[in-house]
Structure 1
Amino acid sequence: MTAHPQGRIRRAVLRGALCAVAVVAGAGLTGCSGEDPDAGTNGVGKLPAERIQSRTRAAADSADAVHLAGNVVSNGRTYRLDMRLKSDGGTGSVTSQGVTFGLLRVGEQLYLKADAGFWDRADGDGKGDGGAAGKLDGKYVKVPQGDPAYKRFSGFTDKKVLLDGLLTLHGTLATDGHHEQSGVRTIRLTGGDGTGGTLDVSLEGSPYPLRLERAGGAGTLSFSEWGKDFPLTQPATDQTVDYGRQLPTS
């Protein structure tokens, strides 16, 4: 039987009045605020914070590749990272104290690429383009695995090391509502009510981490291009230099 139009109108008016009362009272009735924020999502937004964290870590670990960009503060120094990473290496750039250098790791072999100014400043020989710095300008310099620079810089090219170190929130986990990052709906995780960092997790497709604010103002990073492959090959021989001794580091 078709409902009488006046009956539908009365019910609509009553529903609107109830919603208004709920807003004033701070109660919040289901359906009064419009669409379900988790409708059409991957469903992780309805999970407890600990399970969301578990799901996003599993998604990140299983992804073949990722692009991360942003700032990381470590040992009192700020590093600006723009890196593409996968399980067998990574490539990109790092900026620290106004100096930018490129990193490339293919398997176990790490290369550092920078201009003469970087090497001149790092080596401190004052010879500029006339010394060793000029020979290294714009070249891929092999970093020996036993060199202190290898340990210092290879972590920037290691997907597992970076994600294990970054995707950790400190303190009691909680959710902090639905948000959006670059047009993608997210659920936000917090550690220690935000003092232990915040992490936005995608509600669309796989629950990948999309944006991280580290605890204590130790940097902000964005994550994108999850699972998108990229070429990772050894540089050409004529573009490679074997430094032959311990590398200088700035």
Structure 2
Amino acid sequence: MTAIPQGRTRRAVTAAAICALAVTATGLTGCGSEDPDAGTNGVGKLSATAIQAKAKKAADKAPAVRLSGTVVSGGTTYTLDMRLKSDGGSGSVTSKGGGFRLLRVGEHLFLKADAAFWAHEDGESDGKPTDTAAADKLEGMYVKVPTGDPAYKRFSGFTDKDVLLDGLLSLHGALAKDGHHEQSGVRTIRITGGKGSGGTLDVSLQGTPYPVLLGRAGNAGTLRLTDWGKDFPLAEPSKKDTVDYGQQLPSS
């Protein structure tokens, strides 16, 4: 057996010790020549600003996406599950107080909700809300939202892929990289705005650099972006399932 020089042994032990210290201090999973971006699309090597630009470009070019998760606004948590593409979208928005479904095909926006959503108490007749009958009539029906009604602007944004993603993918504050991660089996690179207070965004390191997870600024919700490019049927509801009030919706 050939003897190993003591100097070489000491150097090997020293190198192993340094590697172990580096792992403990940084949380890295390996030492030596291991590259966390090996086998990826290379986006992880870019600056945070360039990563955000790549993710936005990929999102803009994708014909469809599914957006699901939570949004916190005014102390209320809303749960979204929307499927979007260039000519419209569909899905649900719910909260502790109830929820509704949205469907937009081109410029035509439809809203579907239960009677409680439509009922209000701004007027009474014989001690009863004046529009109880109307609320019962609207339950489970698709109500066409007139383009001039304030509700159109308020709700159509939930179904507009370009408008919705442009706002969501814009982090606030100075951008920085926050390491390599994994979301539902997909390797990602995370970027942050304002050291995390301005939101976080995980971008796929596999294939097209799509955004896959968004943490909204101020802990205002978390949204997953999936089914990129996956088409889905989008058609107006049948006339028998639709109520058209003309120029203005009933108050709700």
What TM-score does the superposition give when structure 1 sets the normalisation length?
A: 0.87
Instruction: Check 1:222–1:27 CA distance in 2 against 1; reply closer, same or farther (3 A cut).
Output: closer
Alignment partner, residue 21 of structure 2:
24
Give me the whole-angstrom Cα distance separating, in 2, the residues matched to 1:34 and 1:121: 66
The alpha-carbon deviation at position 219 of structure 1 amounts to 1.4
The SS at the match of 2:119 is helix
Identify the match of residue 230 of structure 2 among 228, 231, 236. 228
Alignment partner, residue 114 of structure 1:
113
Alignment partner, residue 41 of structure 2:
42
Give me the whole-angstrom Cα distance separating, in 2, the residues matched to 1:211 and 1:113: 28
* 1:47-196 map, 5 Å: 47-74=46-73, 77-121=76-120, 131-196=133-198
The SS at the match of 1:80 is strand
Alignment partner, residue 240 of structure 2:
238
C-alpha offsets along residues 181-217 of structure 1, whole Å, 9 cap, x if unaligned?
A: 0010000001111111110000011111111111112
Give me the whole-angstrom Cα distance separating, in 2, the residues matched to 1:21 and 1:171: 36
Kept after mapping to 1: 8 A contact 2:120/2:131: no
Give me the whole-angstrom Cα distance separating, in 2, the residues matched to 1:47 and 1:100: 41
Instruction: Check 1:73–1:27 CA distance in 2 against 1; reply closer, same or farther (3 A cut).
Output: closer
Structure 1 vs Structure 2 CA RMSD: 2.9
Instruction: Check 1:16–1:60 CA distance in 2 against 1; reply closer, same or farther (3 A cut).
Output: farther
Instruction: Check 1:212–1:99 CA distance in 2 against 1; reply closer, same or farther (3 A cut).
Output: same
The alpha-carbon deviation at position 135 of structure 1 amounts to 1.3
List gaps (5 residues or longer) in structure 1: none
Identify the match of residue 215 of structure 1 among 213, 217, 222. 217
- For structure 1, which segment, 52-61 or 89-98, has the greater mean C-alpha deviation from structure 2 after superposition? 89-98
C-alpha offsets along residues 100-151 of structure 1, whole Å, 9 cap, x if unaligned?
A: 1000000000000011222124877655996001111111100000000000
The SS at the match of 1:131 is helix
Give me the whole-angstrom Cα distance separating, in 2, the residues matched to 1:198 and 1:27: 21
Kept after mapping to 2: 8 A contact 1:112/1:140: yes
Give me the whole-angstrom Cα distance separating, in 2, the residues matched to 1:245 and 1:13: 85
- For structure 1, which segment, 153-162 or 20-29, has the greater mean C-alpha deviation from structure 2 after superposition? 20-29
Aligned-residue sequence identity (percent) comes to 66
What TM-score does the superposition give when structure 2 sets the normalisation length?
A: 0.86
Give me the whole-angstrom Cα distance separating, in 2, the residues matched to 1:171 and 1:91: 32
The alpha-carbon deviation at position 243 of structure 1 amounts to 2.2
Runs of 4+ in 1 over 6 A off after TM superposition: 4-7, 10-13, 122-125
The alpha-carbon deviation at position 248 of structure 1 amounts to 4.2
The SS at the match of 1:152 is helix
Which AA in structure 1 matches 2:221?
A: G
